[in-house]
Amino acid sequence: MEEIQTDLSRWTLILLHNFTFTATERPFIEKLNDYVTNGGGLLFLPGANNSMPLSPEARNLLPAPLARMFVITAQPVFLNLDAVPDSPYLSALRDPSGLDLPPLADSFTPRPAFDSGRTLLQGKNVFDEPVPLVVSHRYGLGRMVILGSHSFWRWNLLTGRDVLTPFWLTTLYQAYPNLRTQSGQILVDGYLFEMYEKARISYTALSTVASATASGVPLTVSGPSKQETLWLQPSASTSGEFEGHYTPVEPGEYRIANAAGDATAEFVVESSSLELHDLRQNIEILQAIAKPTGGSYANQPAWQNLAGQIPSTALVREEEHTRFYGEKWWLALSLIGFLAGEWFLRWRKGLP
């Protein structure tokens, strides 16, 4: 702490955990306020020491969000990603395999509640009440990020998955967006793509500042209408290289950049239809359509045997119809003519 107190401007980000703001720390408290006001980043994780009342002197010196004491609530807190639709943690914590993160053991609630910050990540307790887990504050030219629990380690321990790396990286970026974790080169396997065509993206790290980034690299993909975070995973064959795929869904220009902004790549997407991109038959759908009517799917080679599958048994049908002779005018006239001829012949012969 003595080394830090000498010149806080040497550090781009300061992390404090369970720090006691006592009278003996007054020089550091004064410098901390100026440090954040002038553009520094502060990440604060409260603990048991922060539940005690502050002296009026310390309360006046500290940045306002830190001058509030925190109440430790011993209750499980479940992650609620859907509570903050624009949360920067959505892509980092939403597992496509549907992994349910275990609840956190407890939470810290400030006294009074956060009223000037922006909630970035939220949870809920057993009573379905909202619990802030990560809150960001703008203070002067700097930023402060305050966490609402100290048991995030449970996510890794109880799931066996590395959930904390993307969580802490995202948290660090929120506390200080210009924080440099890696410098490298971004490569895309082409420049011109069609809609729905997967683009392979790789990132080669030239130097690693934070060892935690070895398990993943977040890149920002800026498209025609939105920005997305793409997490690249370590390459299985090349050390220091990360790779992943991105599927564009709208035409236009795309730009990819790392968190520091010193590595970028661009590509263009042309308009196309999904049907023209993949002309292969969907055999499962064709079979499902034919099945209800007793039919079957047949590809081109099967056409040769199609004629043999058609039943060839002759069918004999007998139908009985009753027809009135007068329903056709020519049939009625012919009948009258035949009867008149018979009567004339019988009259000439003298027959009755």
| pLDDT (tens digit per residue) in 101-110 | 888 888 887 7
**Could you read off the pLDDT of 96-138 as tens digits, one per residue?**
566 678 888 888 877 654 556 888 898 998 888 888 899 988 8
Q: Is the pLDDT of residue 94 over 80?
A: no
> Is-same-fold flag (2-175; 182-274)?
no
What pTM does this model have?
Answer: 0.53
Higher pLDDT, 194 or 6: 194
The residues near 21 (Cβ < 8 Å, ≥ 6 apart) are 29, 54, 58, 62, 66
Match domain 2-175 to its CATH number in 3.40.50.880, 3.40.50.720, 3.40.190.10, 3.40.50.300. 3.40.50.880
**Could you read off the pLDDT of 39-72 as tens digits, one per residue?**
888 899 888 888 777 788 888 888 878 877 777 8
| 182-274: CATH number | 2.60.40.10
Lowest mean pLDDT across 86-95, 291-300, 302-311: 302-311
Residue 290 in contact with residue 281, Cβ under 8 Å? no
Tokens of 311: 């039943």
Cα 254 → chain centroid = 18
Percent of the chain with pLDDT over 70: 80
Domain limits, the chain: 2-175, 182-274
